[in-house]
A and B are shown apart, each in its own frame.
Chain A
Amino acid sequence: MTTTSTRGKTPRATAKATRTSSPEAKAASALLPAERPIRFLDEHGARVDEHSGYAEPPVELLAEAYRKMVVGRRFDQQCTALTKQGRLAVYPSSHGQEACQVGGVLALRADDWMFPTYRESVAITTRGVDPVETLTLLRGDWHCGYDAAAWRTAPQCTPLATQTIHAAGVAYGEKRKGNDSVALAFIGDGATSEGDFHEAMNFAAVFRAPAIFLVQNNGYAISVPLDKQTQAPALAYKGVGYGVRSERVDGNDPVAVLAVMLAAVEHGRAGHGPFLIEAHTYRMDAHTNADDATRYREPSEVDDWRSKDPIARLGAYLRAAGALDDARDAEIKAEAEAYAASLRERMNADPVLNPLDLFEHVYATPTPQLAAQRAQLAAELEAENQ
């Protein structure tokens, strides 16, 4: 046993230290994440120096992030309540993940593309999309609700990891047209096991596409914990094998998420290709309203994460920096309440859906068969109304 470990570890470590590194090893280390996840704030919101040279975002941007996070969380809570009332068919909450939801979006320009998953309702409203439009699909309608082209925001994607390749393609396409926009794909820890994620990183790297893959590592894929998902030392290391610049970040530190996101965006705009960010975070609620999280995680774990709350951390930091006081905080909370109240009211009635619309957008022009089926349904509806 002892001999094995000596053979396995020591000589190799010695060799590494004495030999000059090969070009490949040098290239690999340039892609590798920092030793520890990037953070600017400790768990109480005090400034720490663990940011490996990433620039701290301007305080106005941090204050804006705080506002968006408070409003986003209130929106998220309202969605959960609306689901309990039967107003939404299903809702995957991002409670606890606001630093990523908001930090990801605030680093983008309006002409950048975004690829959200089912978990990103808050990211979408943070982009400015109307909340009722955002919830169209979850409410039980057949389309994504908002104008995906105008907002440069793809419909929320459920088939896991598939959207990451779209991000690589659109990023490359925009670059080919001479634009300096980037594409941000959200993805979860579990979905990094899907083949599509690996193909996306490879394509993005080979075509030097300015795609950013923001992995919200919340520790679980529904019930499956990260240690059953991967044996990689960290998810961020998955980028290195493909030649993708990678970083790890404290995903509950909004300053760190924004700082690394801004750097990733700059990296892309400057023509350096894709960027992978692994953000350590936690979803405080169950996977969706239909899930029972007590079957696979301890309440004490949830409590631990409560003390790392991203909003509290940024709030404390802003107060210390003189960028937030009670009056401003109350204003923001009032804004969040008003936002939720308006959502509640607008969601109070069921949407009026026309079943005949189901045939409208299957093709640019309906096939003769679809037209006939539409007519059949129209006749049925007419008969029902008589």
Chain B
Amino acid sequence: MSTTMAQAINTALRDALKDDDRVVVFGEDVGTLGGVFRITDGLTRDFGEDRCFDTPLAESGIMGFAIGMAMAGFRPVVELQFDAFAYPAFEQILSHVAKLRNRTRGALSLPIVIRVPFAGGIGGVEHHCDSSEAYYAHTPGLKVVTPATVADAYSLLREAINDPDPVVFLEPKKLYWSKDEVSLPAQTAPFGKAEVRREGTDVTLLSYGPSVPVALAAAEAAVEDGWSVEVVDLRTINPYDDATVDASVRKTGRCVVVTEASGFAGVGAEMAARVQERCFHSLAAPVLRVAGYDIPYPPPKLEHHHLPGVDRVLDTIARLQWDDVPMGSGAS
């Protein structure tokens, strides 16, 4: 059945509301309107105002309230309307959501899911296209998840809601209306397990969320240039699956990290560093990054210059010292 990512997320919320009375969904415009992206469409109608409700317009309030409700035994799934509108909630997220388990030696835990429509590629104006994953990923105590496929959107969200710890669930806006042949409920690999989305032998493209389709398109285009490209989708940024990444890079001997977010001090830097540390002796070339520029997210008419595209990925692959032979690769 052809299903969109938006439908998958909506269905995951529905199924969670059905299965567990403790689940509550709230945020700005999630009730009557069904969310500005219609992700919560029909939830208030079908489950009642107690289960899915609009809050006053205050993100710090939404987060703090979720913390309190979780302490009272609920499992809040909150929507922060856009990436950049999550920032007023940072105090609560960084100082409390991420730390309460630790500060109470596990006596209090916060099974909260923070849903954030994030990243660009939709022609949005300022403050509507931020790649904010690095802020969350840099905060110990938070799990950070971002689906790239429709099945993952469903399965990872269900797992996030069941997780005993807080999960920041980053939904790539530009993939909301992407379709896959999937029937729901779908069950995919658990948190902490990366997926090889395409097998190849010459180079590994490492990416997650909104950048996975770009990596796949580049891999397809690379065939013409004679490269066999493997694509790894992290799925969950934290927990991080070193094993799958290592296995891929040790096989191919080359690695390019592809992220839409600005490169400087981003999640891509962590990915590159880990590969360098763990796979040094298998590498024929330095790990390179293709990332957004270190500039505020550009406006609709210019965003395509900023976003890593197929050409930029191919140009980067071309710089991977193809005249050298990777050590220990066994290639001749």
Contacts and interface: CB of A to CB of B under 8 A. Distances in A.
Interface of A: 89-90, 137-138, 140-142, 158-160, 190-191, 193-196, 221-224, 228-230, 290-291, 295-296, 350-351, 353, 355, 358-359, 362, 367, 369-370, 373, 377, 380
Contacts of A351: 301
A228 B27 CA distance: 12
B51 to A, nearest CB: 16
A160 B81 CA distance: 12
A220 to B, nearest CB: 10
A142 B88 CA distance: 23
A90 B54 CA distance: 24
Contacts of B295: 358-359, 362, 370, 373
Given A353-B302, A355-B305, A223 B88 contact: no
Interface string B30-45: 0111101000000000
Nearest to B56: A193
Interface residues of B, number: 37
B192 interface: no
Contacts of A369: 264, 294
A89 B32 contact: no
Interface of B: 28-29, 31-34, 36, 54, 56-61, 84-85, 87-88, 123-127, 264, 293-296, 298-302, 305-306, 311-312
13 contacts: A158-B127, A159-B87, A196-B88, A222-B36, A223-B29, A223-B33, A224-B28, A228-B56, A353-B302, A358-B295, A369-B294, A380-B305, A380-B312
Contacts of B125: 89-90, 137-138, 140, 158
B32 A296 contact: yes
Contacts of A370: 293-295
A372 to B, nearest CB: 10
Contacts, number: 111
Nearest to B291: A373
Nearest to A297: B32
A362 B296 contact: yes
| Shortest 10 CB-CB contacts between residues of A and residues of B | A223-B33, A193-B56, A190-B57, A140-B300, A355-B305, A140-B301, A193-B57, A142-B299, A193-B58, A373-B293
A224 B56 CA distance: 8
B28 A142 contact: no
B88 A358 contact: no
Interface SS majority for chain B:
loop
A369 B295 CA distance: 11
A142 B296 contact: yes
Contacts of A380: 305, 311-312
Contacts of A159: 84-85, 87-88, 127
Contacts of B84: 159
Contacts of A224: 28-29, 31-32, 54, 56-57
B54 A223 contact: yes
A89 B300 contact: yes
A20 to B, nearest CB: 37
Nearest to A189: B57
A141 B33 contact: no
Given A290-B36, A358-B298, 14 more contacts: A137-B125, A140-B125, A190-B57, A195-B58, A195-B61, A221-B57, A222-B29, A223-B33, A224-B28, A224-B32, A228-B54, A296-B32, A351-B301, A358-B295
Given A89-B300, A222-B28, A296-B32, A195 B294 contact: no
Given A195-B61, A222-B36, A141 B294 contact: no
Residue of B61, B123, B299, B306 ringed by the most chain A CB atoms within 10 A: B299
A377 B291 CA distance: 12
B88 A195 contact: yes
A222 B38 CA distance: 13
B306 A358 contact: yes
A138 B126 CA distance: 9
B302 A223 contact: no
Contacts of B88: 159, 194-196
B301 A377 contact: no
A141 B301 contact: yes
Contacts of A191: 57
Given A137-B126, A358-B305, A370-B295, A223 B32 contact: yes
Residue of B28, B58, B61, B124 ringed by the most chain A CB atoms within 10 A: B58
B56 A358 contact: no
Contacts of A355: 298, 302, 305
A222 B305 CA distance: 32
Residue of A142, A191, A193, A355 ringed by the most chain B CB atoms within 10 A: A142
Contacts of B34: 295
Contacts of A196: 88
Contact of A353 (B60, B127, B301, B306): B301
Nearest to B305: A355
Contacts of B300: 89, 140
Contacts of B123: 89, 140
Contacts of A291: 36
Contacts of B32: 223-224, 295-296
Nearest to B302: A355
Nearest to B84: A159
B124 to A, nearest CB: 8
A138 B295 CA distance: 19
A129 to B, nearest CB: 18
A250 B219 CA distance: 61
Contacts of B61: 193, 195
Contacts of A290: 36
B305 A377 contact: yes
Contact of B294 (A140, A295, A353, A362): A362
A380 B305 CA distance: 9
A367 B294 CA distance: 10
A279 to B, nearest CB: 18
A142 B57 contact: no
A138 B125 CA distance: 7
Contacts of B87: 159
